[in-house]
Structure 1
Amino acid sequence: MEPTAVREAAEKLLTAYDTGAPIEPVITEYPDATIADAYRIQQEQVRTWTREGDVVNGHKVGLSSPAMQRQMGVDQPDYGHLLAGMFHLEHQPIRTAGFLQPRIEPEIAFVLGRPLAGPGVTVADAVRAVDFVLPALEIVDSRIRDWKISIVDTIADNASSGGVVLGSRPTPLTAVDLRLAGCTLHSGGELVATGAGGAVLGSPVNALVWLANTVGPLGVELEPGHVVLPGSMTRAVPVRPGDAVVAAIAGLGSVTAVFEEDGR
């Protein structure tokens, strides 16, 4: 894609945030767009947000489990940026009106204590870089109409990022086997999904390694204090006003997201 087309696509996605009106798939209007083009569109939006005063507080790996790849119709992971404005406090009401088509996923959040920069990052490097882990809920959202996304669409749309709710009990990485950590997801008091850490590329740590080695050649270093979401342990569940969603992860505790009754 030409630079003007990249900026044009980014502007359309940014407008969707402002108007609350989803757009047609990026790949429909730009059928020759590549994955590299999609990341350029994503970066264009990130530059806009940071110019306006927001701050990058981490990254997410998306589509890292077979369940999510099947649900979204894609065949590989992607990554997006987590901005400070995306973080919400546990148990504090969240406006669903701030999203277009929200869904929610349970994840194990890594909080880094050391910088991590690829290429060449190993599992050992990644483990040393992690300060602690937290249970988390990611609110995924799409600025693409009806979630009709290709891999190009979700990448261009900042990996379908929406919001993050972190639990408040940190756990050392050595205290739990993330591969075997089971997860239950309840919404409105009903069990809606189950999963385990092993669903995320075999281990959430593998997703952290993939991320560091993918963004490193682009000149991006994962920084101390940054949050990394490695991907969902279950399928994504739709969110409605008034919902209370609880993810319980064995060995890590639970995290709760509460959405305002009227969505305002």
Structure 2
Amino acid sequence: MIASTELIAAAADRLRVAGETRTAAAPVRELVGATDLDAAYAVQREVIGARVASGARVVGAKIGLTAPAVQLQFGVFQPDFGMLLDDMIYGHREPVPYARFLQPRAEGEIAFVLGRDIDKPGATVADVLRATDFVLPAVEIVDSRIANWDLTITDTVADNASSGAVVLGVTPVSPTGLDLARVGMVLERDGEPVSFGAGHACSGSPVVAVTWLARELARRGQPLRAGEVIMSGALGPMVPISAKGTFRLRLGGLGEVDAVIEEESA
């Protein structure tokens, strides 16, 4: 099916209401189809545009569905992207209110912070490394406005790649000389290891994932800009967040970061 402007608007409105009311909605593939990525990204642009019109600011982007373990969890076998807004970003040990989410899950990632624009449609891994100012350990809290995580690729794309929040570490590390494919990952929940992984699980290397994103966004006229934070994708399986607690991410050579989930907003 080819989604009309009216169907795209209806899908965006469904996701907006779900987010505002914290009430999960039916899949939007009912409106835009299960395979039309252009329609799904059009929905995403409407959702983000409404947030920006209300005062939010785009501060970066995220890549989803890069790790085979996560692809298997959802039966979706290609990457996607979403936008990061300023009110989605938290720092190490800064309280994150559980109440802002519907059905959250945590995953460990490497965040890239850019020092230069990447606006070439044919960007290479060298361009990405040259443009990266530093990297940080980061916990992404993914979330879905779609009931029961019942997703196809168009559902998650339309829903801003199932974005929730990001918790960034506070000690920058230069990527120079680092083999990010070999970085080991352990994610703990209240001291208990719950997810394991490595950089190579993210499209072979997180640098390769960010290169894909740079090309895709440049092709769509939304190039990555200096100062933006780029979440490069999960290094291992995501784990559910069911109550308050602390998720500690440990990355070999990159340090650690704590995502502190609180029942009430601080």
**What TM-score comes out, normalization by structure 2 length?**
0.96
Q: Distance in 1 between matches of 2:109 and 2:53?
A: 29
Unaligned runs of 5+ in 1: none
Matched, 1:164 2:166: yes
User: How many equivalent pairs are there?
Assistant: 264
**What TM-score comes out, normalization by structure 1 length?**
0.97
2:111–2:230: 8 Å Cα contact kept in structure 1? yes
Question: Corresponding residue for 1:222?
Answer: 224
Unaligned runs of 5+ in 2: none
Instruction: Please report how far the alpha carbon of residue 241 of structure 1 lies from its aligned counterpart in structure 2 after TM superposition.
Output: 2.4
Instruction: Please report how far the alpha carbon of residue 263 of structure 1 lies from its aligned counterpart in structure 2 after TM superposition.
Output: 7.1
2:138–2:167: 8 Å Cα contact kept in structure 1? yes
1:202-213 to 2 correspondence within 5 Å? Answer: 202-213=204-215
Q: Distance in 2 between matches of 1:263 and 1:57?
A: 22
1:241–1:262: 8 Å Cα contact kept in structure 2? no
Aligned equivalent of 2:184, options 182, 196, 221: 182
Aligned equivalent of 1:234, options 226, 230, 236: 236
Q: Secondary structure at the match of 1:21?
A: coil
1:242–1:262: 8 Å Cα contact kept in structure 2? no
Question: Corresponding residue for 1:46?
Answer: 48
Aligned equivalent of 1:193, options 174, 177, 195: 195
Aligned equivalent of 2:123, options 113, 118, 121: 121
Q: Distance in 1 between matches of 2:132 and 2:33?
A: 40
Question: Corresponding residue for 1:57?
Answer: 59
Question: Corresponding residue for 2:25?
Answer: 23
After superposition, the Cα gap between the structure-2 partners of 1:32 and 1:188, relative to the gap in structure 1 and judged at 3 Å, is closer
Instruction: Please report how far the alpha carbon of residue 32 of structure 1 lies from its aligned counterpart in structure 2 after TM superposition.
Output: 6.3
Q: Deviations over 1:137-187 (max 9, x none)?
A: 000000000000000000000000000000001000014210000010100
Q: Distance in 1 between matches of 2:113 and 2:126?
A: 16
Instruction: Please report how far the alpha carbon of residue 30 of structure 1 lies from its aligned counterpart in structure 2 after TM superposition.
Output: 3.9
Q: Distance in 2 between matches of 1:170 and 1:30?
A: 41
Question: Corresponding residue for 1:87?
Answer: 89
Question: Corresponding residue for 1:34?
Answer: 36
After superposition, the Cα gap between the structure-2 partners of 1:263 and 1:52, relative to the gap in structure 1 and judged at 3 Å, is closer
Q: Distance in 2 between matches of 1:205 and 1:98?
A: 31
1:92–1:258: 8 Å Cα contact kept in structure 2? yes
Q: Secondary structure at the match of 1:173?
A: coil
Aligned equivalent of 1:110, options 109, 112, 126: 112
Q: What is the aligned-residue identity percentage? A: 45
RMSD of aligned C-alpha atoms? Answer: 1.3
Aligned equivalent of 1:140, options 135, 139, 142: 142
Q: Deviations over 1:108-147 (max 9, x none)?
A: 0000000001311011111100000000000000000000
Aligned equivalent of 2:156, options 132, 154, 157: 154
Instruction: Please report how far the alpha carbon of residue 31 of structure 1 lies from its aligned counterpart in structure 2 after TM superposition.
Output: 3.4
Question: Corresponding residue for 2:71?
Answer: 69
Q: Distance in 2 between matches of 1:146 and 1:220?
A: 31
Aligned equivalent of 1:256, options 251, 255, 258: 258
Instruction: Please report how far the alpha carbon of residue 83 of structure 1 lies from its aligned counterpart in structure 2 after TM superposition.
Output: 0.4
Aligned equivalent of 1:247, options 221, 237, 249: 249
1:246–1:256: 8 Å Cα contact kept in structure 2? yes
Instruction: Please report how far the alpha carbon of residue 243 of structure 1 lies from its aligned counterpart in structure 2 after TM superposition.
Output: 1.2
Q: In the alignment, residue 103 of structure 1 is paired with which amino acid?
A: R
